[in-house]
Amino acid sequence: MASIAPPLAPRKARRAARRRRPPIIPLALLLVVLIVPALAADLIAPHDPYQSHLRNRLQPPAFWGGSWEFPLGTDRLGRCMLSRILHGAWYALSISMVGIAIGAALGSAMGLIAGYARGLTDVVLMRLADISFALPAVLLVLALGVAWGPSLQAVLIVVAFVLWAQFARQVRGEVLSLRERDFVARARVAGAGHLRILLRHILPNVFNTIVVMATLQIGVIIILEATLSFLGIGIPRPAPTWGLLIADGRQFITSAWWISFFPGLAILLVVLSINLLGDWLRDRLDPRLRQI
Amino acid sequence: MIRFALSRLAQVLFTIWAITVLVFALSHATGSPLDTLLPDDATPEQIAALTSRLGLDQPYHIQYLRFLGSALQGDFGDSLRWRGEPALGLVLDRLPATLSLGGLAVLISLAVALPLGVVAATRKDSWIDLLARAIALLGQAIPAFWLGIVLIWVFAVWLQWLPTSGQGGLRHMILPAIAIAWFQIAALVRLTRSAMLDVLDTEYVKLARIKGLAESRVVWKHAFVNAASVPLTYFGILAGSVLTGSIVVETVFSWPGTGWLAIEAIRGRDFPVIQAVVLFFAVIFLAANYLVDLLYAWLDPRVRHG
């Protein structure tokens, strides 16, 4: 009985082994470009990100004929681009984390309630989710942008709005089948209340799904925040968010390409790494989410 | 089929109504429009006159009904920034520029993504499949506005093949259209590839091969036609991403379309124009999705009876 499963072809086996290994390069990139700068920009940045060096305006990067004093060059006020990008990491990390936390918590709670209560509650909540899906986020951005101007709250509301319906749908679908399982019926016989059944018996079973979805959405949110800040309707100045840095470099595209280029490269590396990490996490924890 | 079409239409109308409420609530949640319309030293009489002329002394539900009534007739009031211009007229003036750019972007993404996705699936793990997967990964990770700036730098500043920005002929449209198409290509390649992989594994494709049909006929006639319904569902989302893309990319390339108008209106706190843009975009987006739903239900009877 030892060999019921046919042995994997060597090539397939190698690929399966590769899938099980944590993705080292994306993890390292994330640490270097996002996490360490976000937590310790003050310690590692060579300059104050707001300090202008007027005699060193628009200096090219070190490898492009500039000096090592400003490794990635300077902007129109002579501010050190490397220091500004390092300080910008904090905004990318904190806004995506807080935004995901709000959106995932709200959406998962709605999904748990809808799937568990069924009936009218379910219909109303899912219709609301349909409306959220039907509305492109950018419309809400426009409306909020003109109503409040650039602000942290507006960004977080847009992020939560973009996310909640996806979490709600996925979690609801799983709760619908979980609530029919024996362990829920037994918990009810043992005298557990609805809240206890939801939080202690059902939530742990959908938790992997929530974690995988949240990871796969971080990249989307980082790009959304950068886009809002680029358009001037995200995090207000003078915070050196990556989107704002790219916007500031736009008018110098003919003379000083590095101002816009490196913040965008940081976004690219971070989002790519997070997505690779999310794919790996999905294959480990919840392969059913493949189609997302 | 007709019942399905009508019930979907009711949902679409309900959603549009919900958006009018949202737009109305947002524009009233932020203080009165009087602040932007009147000078700081306006007399109480001027304030009172304008208040009653705009109906701001009425209860909210009356104000909402008046707003809804004029919106239905296409009247969103006059722009605050471009004095005297009706808001909807401004949006409609800029629409052709946005549609031509968006149309070119959709053409580019279909022309690149469908063949690439199909070939990647038929030659799984070949270099072309690796390329398709790399594009799919990168497409999600590159922000459109940054891609636009990099394209300007490479093709307009460095190589000097194409103009940097502005309007005028096809040459001005190539770079912005690529910047909008990029994200769609990534998503379409991924969908087409996985749909084709599923279809190529089915019995009827094996039968077609056993019958001895040419491989190109098996792939394009038998497999692709059946796999195509998956990218089709994506078309609704495509409409949304063209609208989103137009706002960002038009700003980067100074392309005088609706998206750029929207950003200008936000900077000038121009409520009437923003209301017109938001509702207009919502209607386009929902109509596109409605058509996709109908097409899909027509192709797949399970949908309309499910």
* Domain at B170, CATH number: 1.10.3720.10
B97 falls within a domain = yes
Which pLDDT does position A258 carry in this prediction?
Answer: 86
Please write the tens of the pLDDT for every residue from A248-281. Answer: 888 888 888 888 899 999 999 999 999 888 888 8
Choosing among 1.10.8.60, 3.90.1150.10, 1.10.3720.10, 1.10.10.10, the CATH entry for A24-50+62-291 is: 1.10.3720.10
Please write the tens of the pLDDT for every residue from A196-255. Answer: 988 888 999 898 889 888 988 898 899 988 988 888 888 888 889 999 999 888 888 888
CB of B151 less than 8 A from some CB of A: no
Which secondary structure element, helix H or strand E, spans residue A239, and what is its range? none
Among candidate residues A238, A179, A271, the one with its CA nearest the CA of residue B144: A271
User: Could you tell me which chain B residue has the CA closest to the CA of A249?
Assistant: B149
* Of A131, A149, A220, Cβ closest to residue B15: A131
Which tokens go with B275? Answer: 């209301």
In DSSP terms, B86 is beta-bridged to B78
The answer to whether the Cβ–Cβ distance between B267 and A232 falls below 8 Å is: yes
Rounded to an integer, the average pLDDT of B33-62 is 72
**3-class SS of residue A203:** helix
CB of A156 less than 8 A from some CB of B: no
Cβ contacts of A130 on chain B, cutoff 8 Å: 11, 15
Which pLDDT does position B35 carry in this prediction?
Answer: 63
CB of B207 less than 8 A from some CB of A: no
CB proximity under 8 Å: A 198-257 to B: 219-220, 223, 226-227, 230-233, 243, 246, 249-250, 253-254, 257
CA distance B213 to chain A (A): 30
Residue B175 has pLDDT above 50, yes or no: yes
Which tokens go with A203? Answer: 């939530």
Residue A9 has pLDDT above 70, yes or no: no
* Of B11, B12, B274, Cβ closest to residue A146: B274
B226 falls within a domain = yes
- Choose between B39 and A103: higher pLDDT: A103
Q: Is the ipTM of this complex over 0.90?
A: no
- Choose between A286 and A205: higher pLDDT: A205
Cβ contacts of A226 on chain B, cutoff 8 Å: 143, 146
B192 falls within a domain = yes
CB of A134 less than 8 A from some CB of B: yes
Specify the pTM. 0.84
Which pLDDT does position B78 carry in this prediction?
Answer: 76
* Of B153, B248, B281, Cβ closest to residue A139: B281
What's the pLDDT band for B243 if we cut at 50, 70, 90? confident
Among candidate residues A280, A262, A282, the one with its CA nearest the CA of residue A270: A262
Spell out the long-range contacts of A66-69 with Cβ–Cβ below 8 A and sequence spacing 24 or more: none
Residue B168 has pLDDT above 80, yes or no: no
What's the pLDDT band for A135 if we cut at 50, 70, 90? low
d(CA B132, CA B191): 11
CB of B278 less than 8 A from some CB of A: yes
B70 falls within a domain = no
CB burial readout B139-177, b (16+ within 10 A) else e:
bbbbbbbbbbbbbbbebbeeeeeebbbeeeeeebbbbbb
B246 falls within a domain = yes
The answer to whether the Cβ–Cβ distance between B145 and A246 falls below 8 Å is: yes
Please write the tens of the pLDDT for every residue from B143-159. Answer: 988 999 999 888 888 88
- State the DSSP string of chain B: -HHHHHHHHHHHHHHHHHHHHHHHHHHHTT--THHHHS-TT--HHHHHHHHHHHTTTS-HHHHHHHHHHHHHTT---B-TTTTT-BHHHHHHHHHHHHHHHHHHHHHHHHHHHHHHHHHHHHTTTSHHHHHHHHHHHHHHHS-HHHHHHHHIIIIIIIS--S-SSS-SHHHHHHHHHHHHHHHHHHHHHHHHHHHHHHHHTSHHHHHHHHTT--HHHIIIIIIIHHHTHHHHHHHHHHHHHHHHHHHHHHHHHT--SHHHHHHHHHHTT-HHHHHHHHHHHHHHHHHHHHHHHHHHHHH-HHHHH-
Range of the domain at B236: 87-304
Cβ contacts of A142 on chain B, cutoff 8 Å: 247, 262, 266, 274, 277-278
As for how many domains chain B has, the answer is 1
Residue B161 has pLDDT above 80, yes or no: yes
Please write the tens of the pLDDT for every residue from B250-297. Answer: 888 888 888 888 888 877 777 788 888 888 888 888 888 888 878 877
Domain ranges of chain A: 24-50+62-291
